[in-house]
Amino acid sequence: MKLLQSLALIPIVLPAFAGENNQPAEKYNILFLSCEDIDPSLSCYGTKGISTPNIDRLANEGIRYTNAYAAVGVSGASRSSIITGMYPISIGTMYFRNGPHGQYRSPENETYKSKSTYLAKDRLGRIIPEYSAVIPDYIKCFTEYMRAAGYYCTNNNKCDYQFNCPISAWDEVGKDADYINRPTGMPFFSVFNDIVSHESQIWLKAKDPMLVNPDSIVIPAYYPDLKVVRTDVARKYSNIVELDKHIGEMLDRLEKEGLMEKTIIFFWSDHGGPLLRQKRAVGNSGLHVPLIVRFPGKKYAGKIENRIVSLMDLGPTVLSLSSIKPPMYMQASAFLGKYNAAPRKYHFGSADRFDESTDRCRSVLDGRFVYIKNFYPELPLIYRNSYREQIEMTKTLHEMNAKNELSGDAAYIWMKTKPIEELYDLTTDPFEIHNLASKPEFQSKLKELRKALNGWLAKVGDKGAIPEVDMIESMWPGLMQPSTLPVQFSNDKKGNLILSCPTRGASIVYQRGKEIGGDHWELYSKPIQSVEKEKYIARAVRIGFKTSIITNK
């Protein structure tokens, strides 16, 4: 259902704690401590060979979720689901990477190349240009609802939404964005993203000292136990140890600023681990993530929550904790707060193009079983991908596979073609290497999950069936980016200033008086009490469109 109400109708209200509907007493800050490319390889999740005391502290003082998953096993598509509360395959943000969207670009710096960086092709062999996904006009970044409700919203330092971050999404975005810059007494919603655990750091930090013992870690059964493998898995763990140190520094800062007991803290990763058959994978190894939520006063300290949660639920949960009712159009739902929804029965995932590598897979997980449908079974499970092959163990395993030197469990993921259906039982097969899809005793579960997946695909309208260039053409007619029309000024009967834009779904920002020319733009959400002779400028943007020119009053 489309959101038909204006942002101006969103009331400024106070948050309630998990599932409580009584009158709240205080408006809490909300902080995301996000990271990149880690599965639950943390000591608080029972992983051996690693110590993460600061993240453990958050878990001991908060809620640790055991069944949290990303919608896609790569950052851009996953983060598009988080910022919108929508499935990437439903809104056309599933193809990665479609443009230089990792960081915020100002409207004047939003440009696109006629060919993608990786010279990627769609499944019909056509060169894919860079583009910004145009999503349905009724969808907003959830931070706009927070801004309209009186929160100061900052993002340091990751967007990566598969569309250029709209100027309306944040009060501050970039490497210097910080809640400390907010007006006195204003609550904040802030994101601090750490890249030390990112896939690229496996090779960029290869010569750094190890912070774990390579001989004490568990090697996934889908890898051979080789020195090069132990080295890169240990590097993954060492980077997580360094991440943990950074989390500790942030917690120390909050305590020094007197904010620890005034702030709800979320810790999460954008998808699963950085190594082969982890990142980009559509099963548990690619989608399973850590998620911890700490409340002021250590409310719910030490609670272990087994309900299924999707990272795309983060947006409506933040709104719910702020007593803002999540928009009805969102496919995500809150798992805490005033609008806490019924638990999910399943989690759904997808995989499509990653850089130059095109495939199409869909999955459903119920906390124990993983079901995967492969739409192109003629393709290998492990495809060539130049970015990830900068990791030494990945190059080595490709070479060994070419020489038929891999055997047993370590050979499983190197299948030259894929089965149409895969089914894994994580209780007996945590590494997903024993496909149960053909086993008679698992046919009931296979049919259940197949039905659930098909129902989901029909419900959300899977755009993965559309060749990518055709999808782009539907968003950018003639492969030209559409533009948002300029803001128009008028006055209501009380003399208040009204800002409007003829482009359906556009958000409006403005500056006034001495603010004009600065980096900060106010979000327009209700009529403005204007001061006589004061100057105003405004611009509008719809997600995926070019931002409008500046209009003056």
534 within some domain:
yes
Task: Compute the distance between CA of residue 481 and CA of residue 489 in angstroms, rounded to an integer.
Answer: 25
Between CA 75 and CA 81 the distance in angstroms is 10
In a domain, 347, yes or no: no
Domain CATH for 181 = 3.40.720.10
Where among 479, 503, 524 does a domain terminate? 479
Q: Is residue 115 part of a domain?
A: no
Instruction: Indicate if 404 and 548 belong to the same structural domain.
Output: no
Question: Which of 288, 306, 341 is the last residue before a domain boundary?
Answer: 341
Q: Do 193 and 157 belong to one domain? A: yes
User: Phi and psi dihedrals of 538, rounded to 5?
Assistant: -150, 155
- The values of phi and psi at residue 266, to 5°, are -110, 130
Instruction: Verify that 438 and 522 share a domain, yes or no.
Output: no
Q: Is residue 187 within 8 Å of 27, Cβ to Cβ? A: yes
Q: Using alpha carbons, list the distances in angstroms from residue 474 to 173, 383, 482.
A: 30, 29, 11
Tokens representing 338 are 């005033």
Backbone angles phi, psi at 539, to 5 degrees: -150, 160
| pLDDT number for residue 126 | 95
282 and 422, same structural domain? no
299: its two tokens? 């409310």
Report the C-alpha gap between 542 and 534 in whole angstroms.
27
Give residue 19's region: left, alpha or beta (phi > 0; psi -120 to 50). left
Give every residue of the chain whose pLDDT is below 70, as ranges.
1-26
The residue among 448, 479, 510 that closes a domain is: 479
Q: Are residues 474 and 497 in the same domain?
A: no
> What pLDDT score was predicted for residue 24?
46
Tell which residue, 338, 318, 316, has the closest CA to residue 326. Answer: 316
How many CA atoms within 13 Å lie on the side-chain side of 537? 13
- Per-residue model confidence as pLDDT tens digits over 80-99: 999 999 999 999 999 999 99
- Which residue from 288, 245, 253 is spatially nearest to 52, judged by alpha carbons? 245
Q: Does residue 2 lie in a domain region?
A: no
Same domain for 242 and 202, yes or no, is yes
For residue 123, being part of any structural domain is answered with no
Q: Is residue 346 included in any domain, yes or no?
A: no
Residue 355 lies in a domain: no
**pLDDT in the model for residue 117:** 76
- Position 114 in a domain: no
Same domain, 313 and 406: no
Residue 97, pLDDT score: 93
Same domain, 275 and 149: yes
Residues 96, 216, single domain; the answer is yes
Total domain count, the chain: 3
For 439-446, the CB contacts below 8 A with 24+ separation are 445/369, 446/371, 446/421
Same domain as 394, residue 327: no
Neighbours of 148 (CB within 10 A): 22
User: Which CATH number goes with the domain that contains 505?
Assistant: 2.60.40
- Please spell the DSSP secondary structure of 217-241, one letter per residue: SPPPTTS---HHHHHHHHHHHHHHH
Count of C-beta atoms within a 10 Å radius of residue 274: 24
Identify the CATH number of the domain in which residue 372 sits. 3.30.1120
Bridge partners (DSSP) listed for residue 372: 363, 422
* Contacts for 403-408: CB closer than 8 Å, 24+ residues apart: 406/224
Range of the domain at 441: 361-479
Two structure tokens written together for 520 = 């900060």
What pLDDT score was predicted for residue 416?
Answer: 96
* Residues 266 and 380 both lie in one domain: no
403 and 530 in a common domain: no
